Each structure stands twice: as C-alpha cells, then as structure tokens.
C-alpha cells in the first residue's frame, strides 16, 4: 500500500516564485524514505504543505487513501512532523507539553506512552523541568517525542539532527529504526547524505522545485551511481585535445593524483580493461590504479549540478596487483 501519494503538486507564491513544479511522488507504507535537495530546492515547502501550514497551488495528496486537502482532521491525526524550528512554552514541562500536544490531535493523554517516549529519548530525568531549562539537544528530542505522542502512521523528520552531536544522532537513529521496523513510515530530509544512504530504503531528489529522481535506494545506487577508473602518475598529465578525443567514451578528467575515467557497462562486464588500456596508450603505465564508485553524496551533487566533490568508495580493484 502507498502511505503518501503526491500527484502534480505545485506551489506559486504571490511574488511569482515557484517553489514546487508538478511534483509527483509515491511513498510506500513502511518505508524509510529520504527526500533530498539543496537549499531552496522546495523540500521545506513540500513538508509545510504536508504539515498544513502552507497551501498548495495545485495538485493532490492522498494519505493512506484519504485526501489530505479535504479530510484534514483525519489525516492530521495520522501524521507527525518533527520541524526544524524549536519552539515550546517556556513554563511547561516536557510531560505537560506532550499531554497538551495529545489534546491538539484529539487524543486523551496516554501517560504510559508519554513516559515511554521520555525514557526512550533520554528525557525522563528532565520531565519535571520547564522547557526553558533544557539544553538544545534535549529540546530537539522533545520535538521528536511531540511528533510521536499520538502514535502517527507517518512521521516526517525535517532536518531532525541539525546541530546535534554525533552520539545523540546515533541514538536517535536507533530509535527511528525501531519505529520503522514496527511499521511506521518515515519521511526524512537531511543534509547528512551518508546517514540517508545508511538509513533509508527509498530516495527522492528535488532541485529548483522539480523532482529529479525517485526510486529504491539500492536501485538508484546500482543504476545511477557511476564507477570510475583512477590512475595515479608520478608526474602531471595533460588532457590535450587529441587525448580527450581518444578517451571521449570515458569522459576523462584530471584528478589530484593523475586522471579519472568514467566506466560504463557492456555485455561482458564493465569497460575497465578497455579504459585502462586506453589510458596506458595515452599516458603510459600508472604508478597505481583502482576503481572507485560514487556514493549518494556524489550522485546527489552530480544530479543537482553542484560543484564537483569527489568522495567515492574504493571498490578494491587495483590494477597494479
């Protein structure tokens, strides 16, 4: 079943800016789904539409088969949002915040669940403090508890670990994995692309309000992520016009150590040996050579047209072995 079906979603602002352009996206029930994009891509607008704080200009959204635009109260009770901004009444305790939030979703406060959330998010020892006494990390954890207090079927995490220390991030992700394993659908936006690659089973990338790709994570990394042959030399190499013409199939570029050639696929495997032989013919035998594969960050930067930032995973192939 599809947890969230977004069809043709667009958002125009009064100043003429278009934040979203005909975005269509299906998020499977039970998935851990990454929504990625550079700053200004439209992620926050999409999240705010889902949270009902921004109205879409056009398009439709279905949550577990219910229309989010016409069945708002039904949908609000089944969605929880962890926003980027932290804002609490400074005179309420965490326990009071969660009890009050339950009422906002039309639920009686379930104090057993509230205490379980406070314990799991390491806030139980601070449950009677006013929120103004909590550290920034504690407040961010309280935001997570607030989004979960009514036991939503879909949780939206909007940059939930921004500014949070590494150890706290790890424990928070452990909790999110548990929720996801128990059947909660999670939609995550994050700038930590290594975390998205590790945590999420699906990924969508948007830029300038348009959807660039949306597919299962493993499928995308298998079909979109490229492999490269890196050749290191003891002296600088040059990409003259005739050399570029000879290596045009491999999209050659210079690297700090030498030269980098993009590998393709052919019926009997990759083009590794053909690329290696072409490089030797052009530059001579290298000191060292190996194959590296793009990670999610490399794919993201390439698809969004951002400055090159090579951060590839060594696949362990070494031509000099």
| pLDDT tens column, 242-287 | 888 889 888 888 877 788 888 876 555 568 888 899 999 999 889 8
List of long-range contacts for 221-227, beta carbons under 8 Å, 24+ apart: 221/197, 221/295, 221/296, 221/299, 224/299, 224/303, 225/293, 225/294, 225/295, 225/296, 225/298, 225/299, 226/262, 226/263, 226/293, 226/294, 227/262, 227/263, 227/270, 227/291, 227/292, 227/293, 227/294, 227/315
Domain ranges of the chain: 2-221, 225-318
- pTM recorded for the entire structure: 0.80
Helix axes 136-148, 111-120, angle to 10 degrees: 140
Q: Is the pLDDT of residue 191 over 70?
A: yes
Q: Give the model's pLDDT for residue 271.
A: 81
Mean pLDDT across the chain, nearest whole number? Answer: 87
User: Which CATH class for the 2-221 domain?
Assistant: alpha beta
pLDDT range class, residue 313, cuts 50, 70, 90? very low
């Amino acid at each position: 079943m599809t947890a969230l079906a977004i069809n043709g979603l667009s958002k125009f602002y009064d100043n003429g800016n278009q934040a979203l352009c005909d975005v269509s996206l299906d998020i499977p029930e039970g998935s851990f789904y990454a929504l990625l994009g550079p700053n200004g891509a439209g992620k926050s607008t999409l999240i705010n539409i889902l949270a009902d704080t921004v109205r879409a200009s056009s398009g439709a959204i279905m949550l577990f088969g219910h229309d989010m635009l016409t069945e708002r109260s039904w949908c609000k009770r089944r969605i929880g949002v962890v926003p980027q901004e932290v804002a609490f009444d400074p005179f309420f305790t965490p326990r009071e915040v969660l009890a009050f939030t339950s009422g906002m979703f039309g639920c009686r406060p379930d104090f057993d669940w509230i205490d379980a959330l406070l314990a799991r998010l390491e806030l139980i020892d601070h449950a009677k403090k006013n929120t103004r006494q909590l550290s920034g990390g504690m407040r961010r954890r309280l935001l997570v508890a607030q989004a979960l207090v009514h036991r939503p079927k879909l949780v939206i995490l909007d940059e939930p670990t921004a500014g949070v220390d590494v150890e706290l991030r790890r424990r928070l992700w452990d909790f999110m994995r548990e929720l996801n394993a128990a059947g909660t659908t999670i939609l995550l936006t994050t700038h930590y692309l290594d975390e998205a690659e590790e945590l999420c089973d699906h990924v969508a990338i948007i830029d300038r309000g348009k959807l660039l790709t949306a597919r299962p994570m493993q499928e995308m990394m298998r079909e979109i992520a490229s492999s490269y042959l890196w050749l290191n030399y003891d002296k600088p190499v040059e990409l003259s016009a005739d050399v570029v013409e000879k290596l045009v199939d491999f999209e050659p570029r210079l690297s700090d150590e030498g030269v980098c050639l993009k590998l393709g696929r052919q019926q009997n495997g990759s083009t590794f040996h053909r690329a290696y032989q072409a490089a030797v013919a052009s530059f001579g035998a290298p000191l060292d050579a190996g194959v590296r594969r793009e990670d999610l960050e490399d794919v993201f930067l390439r698809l969004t047209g951002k400055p090159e930032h090579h951060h590839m995973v060594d696949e362990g192939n070494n031509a000099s072995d």
